[in-house]
Amino acid sequence: MTDTSPLQPIVLHGSTISYFTGKMENYFRVRDIPYELHSMQFPGDRKKLEKALGLMQMPALQLADGRWMTDTTKIIQWFEASYPQNGLVPDDPVQRFVCLLLEDWADEWWWRPAMHYRWHYPEGAHFASRHLAAELMPQVPVPGAIKRLMLRTRQRAGYTTGDGITAESVAGVETMFLRLLGQLQAIFSDRPFVFGGRPSLADIALSGPFFRHFALDPVPLEIIRQRAPAVLEWVARLWNTRMDQCTGEWLQGIPGDLGPLLDDIGDAYLPYLCANVDAVAAGNSRFDVEVGGVAYRRARYSRYRVWCLQELRSHYLALPGQAQAGVRELLEQHACWEPLWRHQSLPLLPGQEEGLPFRGDTKMIGVNE
Amino acid sequence: MSKLKKGEYGIVGRPESGYSMKVLSAMRYKGVAHQWMDRFSHHRLYKEHAKVQLIPLVFLPDGAAMQDSTPLLELLEARHPQPSIYPEDTALRFLSDVLEEYGDEWVNKLMFHYRWGYPADQKYRAKTLAEGTVAGLTTPLIGKIGGPLLAPLLVKRMVPRMAFAGANDNNKPLLVESFGNLVDILQNHLQSRSYLFGERPSFGDFGLWGQMHQAYIDPSCGAILRQRGPAVVAWIERMLEPEKCGEYETLESLEPTLAPLFSREVGPRFLAWDVANARAWDAGEAQTELEMDGRRYYQKTFKYPAQALGILKAKFNQASSDGELIRFLASTGCLQYLTGTDGTGVSAGSLKE
């Protein structure tokens, strides 16, 4: 077990059906780091979190010594650097880069489809709104039906129909999900985890959209059961694996079946990030973009995702020379290279996100405003 | 001085001094003829030659005295180049320089915090020091009798000193975390190699080892090391009589397990404090304060580390044409502290609107 005793008890404030709380839980489980999950309480926790972290976002991590942390990507990097034994990031720098790219993509690009499947379909919205009202808002003195309506309205306005999805684009978003299932079904039929017999950061990343969303919400869960049972098996396998006891090995190089995932990143996610850069640079809070064959209308700008692009660039520049050449070749093959560097300069705020994972002042600008 | 044989170095030191042991280990590695002289048994000699009340006091074969262990190791290297403690690779050479400084200036705080911050450690270390002091000045028997009288006074003297240097109550959790991280990171790194940079010891090994060896011979740190860092313990033991058993590795092969040491410890803790200390010194501020890992850290501002940082930066400037070094320092978040610019590895122009 990873000895985190000076940090214990680690309290994860979130929800039992939250995307990023689920990602964090998978991380802690796989690294065998004890944690307590506490349901965030609205509106009571808002002030406390804004004071401690500069933002209200799920999940927030509280260490025994009183420190608070935010941003699962940076939290995981902090823990991985602190407890490097049996870590999740492969030594091979090319694999490492691909892990970080997949993590960013899983975090930022699959969020919208995950929210879509939950809040678009009545059975998903019914389940999630009842659950969240009871879990997070038991103290709010309004009738349950009003709480559920508030939740549905807020989530749709912030993340689905309010973030670019239109009646016309629903089919495209869902096709994208079915394609992902096909790709992952092939991968997990071939081997237990993305990079072989051992979990890596890439698996933790994908647990975000899958563990508490696609493999939980009624509509996508049934689709996975029917079309991608190996993915369902992987969700449970990851949850039940401990790095310290795992005898599996990472394979060498980048398996060919990750190619289609990279193709989608080059075709949709990175061009979307570029359109977001344009919007932020122009001071537009909304933008239209067509990527991966799907047209998004009035998508929300995100300062945080400009920083995400910057992070990807930094990860590339952090690679040793030879690995840079290898990664560049890989990215060029999958049309990821050009959009990664399309903008010469990125419209970041001074010192943007530098306080992560302990301060997140600028992170939520534009999100659900 | 009459006690020193011709052509020999003399180290006036104590086994409880990491800087003394660092010099001793380096002389052993280089096969340099030397004589160990207990600080207290050579009290008069020490008083006569020491310019500052610190050990070791080292006599060169020509009788000249030196007290700062870092330039002393550099002088040893210049006079006795084989076996060298400098990696030929520019990047590794600089990283080794950084680790030497990190050991001296940061790990020293961690060790000190444990040594004088916990009753069992205080008691143990005060006893050995007090007995050594009294025995050195008189006889071993009187040392046994007089030691217990002196020991509480030593604790009284050391605890406030330690607080000045950063080991205060406010910083305690941070220092505890730092030591734990360091042990875990080194354990991971040293599992598959004999020394920090491969199969031969470097400048960085000596600096870091000096303090880690002290930690190891104290009760609390020793227990942590034995429990969590068996490979670190093996390295500590190895460094008592270091031997060249192969070559240095490449940065590429070291990087997976060396990078966390820089990204987690050297950058956000040691260099962040070092830079803040230098800034405070220049501004004439008596106290240095900064935020570290979501915590406030403060201590007295010191001149010595500010000067040492200047020297480290000069070394960096000489090495800064090495692209791999820059890449490594940027990717581990250390570059910003050495250049005063952003450390993300992307040109500053692209960071501003």
Instruction: Decide: helix, strand or coil at residue A343.
Output: coil
Sign for the CA dihedral angle at B23, B24, B30, B34 comes to positive
pTM over 0.95? The answer is no
Cβ atoms of A242 and A199 closer than 8 Å: no
pLDDT of residue B119: 87
Lowest mean pLDDT among A161-175, A316-330, B147-161, B216-230: B147-161
Cβ-contact B35, B57 below 8 angstroms: no
Cis previous bond, B81, omega within 30: no
Q: How near does any CA of chain B get to the CA of A67, in Å?
A: 6
Say what the alpha-carbon torsion angle A132, A137, A140, A143 is, to the nearest 10 degrees.
20
Confidence of residue A11 (pLDDT cuts 50, 70, 90): very high
Q: What is the pLDDT of residue B162?
A: 77
Structure tokens at A202: 């890439």
Q: Which of A244, A257, A109 is nearest to A194 (CA)?
A: A257
Q: pLDDT digits over B80-130, tens only? A: 999 999 999 999 999 999 999 999 999 999 999 999 888 888 888 888 888
Whether residue B352 lies within 8 A of chain A, CB to CB, comes out as yes
Q: CB-CB: which of B177, B255, B346 is closest to A317? A: B346
Strand partners, B290: B297
Token look-up 């190089």 returns A253
pLDDT of residue B344: 37
CB contact under 8 A, A317 and B251: no
- Residue type for position A242: R
- Report chain B residues whose CB lies below 8 A from the CB of A325: none
Please provide the average confidence, as pLDDT, over all residues in chain A. 95
Name A17's Cβ contacts closer than 8 Å, sequence gap at least 6: A128, A131, A132, A135, A212, A213, A216
Nearest chain A alpha carbon to B184: A83
- DSSP letter at B343 equals -
Residue B353, pLDDT score: 26
Indicate yes or no: CB of A358 within 8 angstroms of CB of B293. yes
Domain B9-79 is of which CATH architecture?
3-Layer(aba) Sandwich (3.40)
Q: Is B250 on the interface with A (CB under 8 A)?
A: no
A214 pLDDT higher than 60: yes
Size of chain A, expressed as the number of residues it contains: 369
Mean pLDDT of B327-338: 95
Domain with CATH 3.40.30.10 in chain B: 9-79
Q: Tell me how far apart the alpha carbons of residues B37 and B2 are, in angstroms, rounded to a whole number.
A: 13
Average pLDDT estimate for A73-90: 94
Structure tokens at B332: 């581990």
Residue range B207-227: mean pLDDT, rounded: 96
Structure tokens at B77: 């290297």
Question: Complex ipTM, two decimals?
Answer: 0.83
Grade residue B343 by pLDDT with cuts at 50, 70 and 90.
very low
Rg for chain A, CA atoms, rounded? 20
Report chain A residues touching chain B, CB-CB < 8 A.
3, 6-7, 65, 67-69, 78, 80-85, 91, 93, 281, 310, 313-314, 317-322, 344-350, 357-359
Is residue A192 classed as helix, strand or coil in its secondary structure?
coil
Percent of chain A residues past pLDDT 90, beyond the cut: 86
Structure token pair of residue A127: 């389940």
pLDDT band for position A9 (50/70/90)? very high
Q: Find out whether the peptide bond into A357 is cis, omega within 30 degrees of 0.
A: yes
Domain residue ranges in chain A: 5-82
pLDDT for res B53: 86
pLDDT digits (tens, 9 = 90+) for B284-316: 999 999 999 889 999 999 999 999 999 999 999
Q: State whether CATH 1.20.140.10 applies to domain A5-82.
A: no
Confidence category of residue A368, pLDDT binned at 50, 70, 90: low
Q: Do A313 and B184 touch (CB under 8 A)?
A: no
